Structures are given as C-alpha cells and as structure tokens.
Structure 1
Amino acid sequence: MPGKKRIDIIDQQFGTMLVLKEVDPGSNYTRMFLCRCVLCETERVYSMNLLRKGRITSCKSSACRKDRYKKSQESLDSNRVDGIMPSALIRKTRENTATGVKGVNVAYTKKGTKRYRAFISIGGKTHRLGNFDDLDAAILAREKAEAEYHQPILEKAKLQKARKEIE
C-alpha cells in the first residue's frame, strides 16, 4: 500500500508568515511548522492545516498590528485631498432612503406636514441647507452645495492622481 505523498511547505509564505522548518507533531499527530513573520521577525509554531486553509496570515503580535495599521493609514492619507476622501464624495445613494436622493431627508412637522431637509457633509462637518416644501427645491439646493463644496475637492483629486501617475 503506497503511502500518502507528503506536501512540503518549507520556504513558502502564507500571508506574512514564512515557513522555516517542521517541528515535532502536535496533538493528533498534526504536522507543525515553525514560521517567522516577515514584518516583525516574530517566530511562532502553526499547524499545516491552519496555514494551508488560510486561517493564519499574520503573527497577530501587537508590533505587527501597529505596523499594518500605520501602513494602511499612510495609504489612506495619500489618497486624501485637504483631509477629505474624494471617493466618499461620489458614493452611490443608499437604497433605503425615503427620497432616493443623497443629502435629502424627509421630515414631518408637528402638524404632520411633509417637509424635505437638505444637507451636505464635508470634512466631518454637516452643513444644513434648509427645509423645503417640495422635493425638487431640496434637490436643487443639494446640487448647488455639491458644486460649491465637492467639485473643488474632486478637481484637486484628479490633479493629484495625474501627478502621481507622472512620477
């Protein structure tokens, strides 16, 4: 009866973990491997099953987490224009809005009259554009505010992206 072919994973990398050598088997005779994190040089022992199934992709040490967080923040900051993410300005409208328009909500007065509130958020601050009797007026106010607040940032983002592509 031929035996199973043993899979060799030494010198393979799973996420940030590089497999160094096989160590003594764990409980239930599972194959265990010594791995080193390529970011923080931490060494840990993991089972072959966890590595191959993708359950282990980093060492999860605090130093490594801080490094990954710092790198992700740097990539986010490089995309910002004046502290604002341009991608947030052009997001689609949510499907569960009462009006179907981004930045326009339905509000009811104490008498039960239906009113429309228009607003726009930029740089963490919400600017209230007013209350309107009809939806079209609220939409018009929102579009004017987008031209005033969002358009300059989107234009700067295009210039910034063009400069990055040139470099």
Structure 2
Amino acid sequence: MLEEQEQTCLYLMCGLPCSGKTTFASQLAKEKGAMIFSLDKLVLSLFPEEDTFATHHKYVQRVQDVFFPIVSDLLCHGYSVVMDFPAHTKTERDQLRHLAIQAKVKIQLYYLQAELETISRRIQQRNTALKDGEYQIPAWLLSMIIEKLEPPDVSENAIEVWLEW
C-alpha cells in the first residue's frame, strides 16, 4: 500500500498590497510542493502594454477564465495549488473556494496583515524598484483597495500572518 500523502489543498491569500501575500505564497508553495499561480504575473505577462486601470478587470477575467479550469484539473489530479490572487472580498474568495469544493479538496485561507504605516513604506520601496510581475501602486489605488477589503470572517477559518521584512 502506498504511503499516505499530505491532503491536496487549495491555498488562498487575502490582504492589502505589500502585506506580504506574494512572498508568503512563494514560501508556502515551496514548503508544500504546490503549484503557484500569481494573478499579477499572469496579467502582466499576457497583457504587458495593454493592462491599464481601465482594462484591468477585463484582463483579470480573461486570466481567470483560462486558469481556473487548469487549477480545477490540477486539484482533481491531486496537485496542491497556491493562488496568489488578491481575494479582497468574500465573494472573490468564494469564487476561488468553489474550485476546491468542486475538486473535493481541502481549502486554507491566509490573511496577510501589516500595519498601514508598514504597508505604505513597502509600497514606496516597491514603486521605486518594480520587478517583473509587479504593479505601480499609487496612493489612490491603495485607498480604493482599503475601502474594498473585507477581512475574512470567523466562518472562513483564516490563518492570520504578519510578515516582518
């Protein structure tokens, strides 16, 4: 009989920009031997010249339309997946959870947090030296995301993570 392997899992991230979601997602994927999908990297790789604030939602939807079935297939075949998709609202998290529910696999949500002062400092540092797969985050966008963010409620069983760096 084969040794029992760790249960297949869909790992989800929630948190403000520069709270450490991508850093944590990368570490988690290595630790768990999981596949990782980063929304920002996918959108910027596929639509580098065309992705603007006005078109972003359309391109995000296209990426989801293509990659969600792939993620579903991976989960159904026993591969754990880390979704570095900024699930700011419960509706967005439920859409991602649906993939795991369909595949009948475990779901784990991580809520990445940092003090707003720390996030602002990290955003300034990031904006001065953008890497591949990173967006410029102006103050108005951070404000908009802060207003949009719905912290996970008790029913979501989120694990809170505070990264210091």
What is the TM-score with the length of structure 2 in the denominator? 0.25
Instruction: Flag the structure with more relative contact order, 1 or 2, with Cα contacts below 8 A and sequence separation at least 6.
Output: 2
Task: Write 1 or 2 for the structure with the bigger share of helix.
Answer: 2
Task: Write 1 or 2 for the structure with the bigger share of strand.
Answer: 1
* Rg comparison, structure with higher value: 1
What is the TM-score with the length of structure 1 in the denominator? 0.25
